[in-house]
Amino acid sequence: MRNDMLDVRLRVRRRTLWLAGMVGLLVTGGACWWALAASADVELGSMSSSGAGYRDECTYPDEGFWALFAADQDVAVVQTVRNDARWPITVTSLLPDVFRFGAVAADPRDDFAFDPSDGPPPGTTETVEIPPGREVAMWVVGPWGRLEADANRGGPAGMRTGIEHAPVRVRSLGITRETDVRLEKMLWISDLDLDSGQFQHEITELCVRTGRGA
């Protein structure tokens, strides 16, 4: 009888240890999978253009100034975003009326072939799957309405509102999370119209000798 009881206890103990080991492996594997998925992100790409915005190279060197638009100008700024992971990443704009993606080019050499002068091309979407090591164009159009401003600046030339991030949803290895894509620099919209004297005075203070756009 004692031997039978001992055998039962040993079997129960082995089964308990086996179950505990399996649970531990599942937890460890899940944690590693989550960490691997979370490590994949959408990075700032290698190309950008401020379109018809007014750039500045010296007046505001400390604020990461990218471009300034008048209130009645059409904003059409573009920068590429890159997937450095070894697997595809799906990116969805959380503000598709402000941030939209171009299509993945058939040829990787065309990842940077875009012309912002005419605005976003037809067929931009709120969601794009970026293959490993590739870049796609992310278009920023304005005004940006519901997007919370990153900065506000007032002065004699009126008020301007700046943004420097794009809220997106990233899906990697079956795991979805929300994050931000950082813009190249701060992008500004003035509350003044293009032909107002105040706005014209403000842009004369910029280093516009480098030309409009980028």
DSSP class per residue in 19-58: HHHHHHHHHHHHHHHHHHHHH--EEEEEEEE-TTSBP-SS
pLDDT tens per residue across span 28-68: 544 444 444 455 578 888 888 887 788 876 655 556 788 88
pLDDT band at residue 214 under the 50/70/90 scheme: very low
Q: 110 versus 182: which is more confidently predicted?
A: 182
What is the arithmetic mean of pLDDT over 116-136?
86
The answer to whether residue 6 scores a pLDDT higher than 70 is: no
CA angle centred on 135, ends 43 and 34, rounded to 5°: 50
The answer to whether residue 107 scores a pLDDT higher than 70 is: yes
pLDDT at 126: 95
Rounded distance between C-alpha atoms, residue 82 and residue 135, angstroms: 4
Q: Specify which residues 125 forms β-bridges with.
A: 101
pLDDT band at residue 168 under the 50/70/90 scheme: very high
The string over 50-62, giving b where at least 16 C-beta atoms fall within 10 Å of a residue's C-beta and e elsewhere, is bbbbbbbeeebee
Phi and psi at residue 156, in whole multiples of 5°?
Answer: -60, -25
Peptide bond into 132 cis (omega under 30): no
The answer to whether residue 148 scores a pLDDT higher than 50 is: yes
Of residues 66, 47, 100, 101, the one with CA closest to residue 213: 66
What is the arithmetic mean of pLDDT over 132-140?
92
What is the arithmetic mean of pLDDT over 121-150?
84
pLDDT at 31: 44
- Per the listing, tokens 């970026």 go with 130
Q: 48 versus 125: which is more confidently predicted?
A: 125
pLDDT at 30: 46
Mean pLDDT across the chain:
76
Rounded distance between C-alpha atoms, residue 124 and residue 121, angstroms: 7
Q: 170 versus 155: which is more confidently predicted?
A: 170
The answer to whether residue 167 scores a pLDDT higher than 80 is: yes
Rounded distance between C-alpha atoms, residue 188 and residue 205, angstroms: 15
Max avg pLDDT among 5-9, 109-113, 168-172: 168-172
pLDDT at 212: 42
The answer to whether residue 71 scores a pLDDT higher than 80 is: yes
Under 8 Å between Cβ of 168 and 42: yes
Rounded distance between C-alpha atoms, residue 51 and residue 85, angstroms: 29
pLDDT at 132: 92
What is the arithmetic mean of pLDDT over 87-110?
88
